[in-house]
Amino acid sequence: MLLVVTYSRPARRSLRNICRGHEESIVRRFGRAALLRATEHGAFLACRLREKYPDDVQVERTRPFNEFADASEDVRAAASAYESREAKHTPYAKFAAGADHPDPAELRDQDL
């Protein structure tokens, strides 16, 4: 999908109008952002917006996130263990230290 994010009032208004007028190419709306279908038409709408507001429209392309293929087993295990922890108020860093899970600083340094 194409993620379109606007950064000014006029650009936001234009995005709203585009979403209203082209529902078939809009997957989801979030106010000043929207997910568009990754079709030539979606690209067309994104490009139009960018032409109109070259500095106030950000467009990224998304891929479905498959945690089994894209993230390591350590990360999945850590997430699962943390969410089912007993002590509700323990921050993850502390939790990880006590239980052999990757520490957040390490995780931040590793690209997917």
CB of 2 within 8 A of CB of 57? no
Closer residue to another protein, CB minimum distance, 7 or 77: 7
Closer residue to another protein, CB minimum distance, 8 or 90: 8
Q: Which stretch binds another protein (CB under 8 A): 53-61, 73-81, 82-90, 93-101?
A: 53-61
Determine if 32 is a binding residue for another protein (CB under 8 A). Answer: yes
Closer residue to another protein, CB minimum distance, 48 or 76: 48
User: Which residue matches tokens 């568009």?
Assistant: 36
CA 6, 4, 29, 53 torsion: positive or negative?
positive
DSSP class per residue in 31-97? SSEEEE-SSHHHHHHHHHHHHH-TTSEEEEE-----HHHHS-HHHHHHHHHHHT-S-TT--HHHHHH
Q: Which stretch binds another protein (CB under 8 A): 4-12, 14-22, 36-44, 72-80?
A: 4-12
Amino acid (one-letter) located at 31: G
- What is the pattern of x (binds another protein, CB under 8 A) and - over residues 5-24? --xxx--x------------
Determine if 30 is a binding residue for another protein (CB under 8 A). Answer: no
Question: Looking at residue 24, what DSSP letter applies?
Answer: G
* Chain positions contacting another protein, by CB under 8 A: 7-9, 12, 32, 50, 54-56, 58
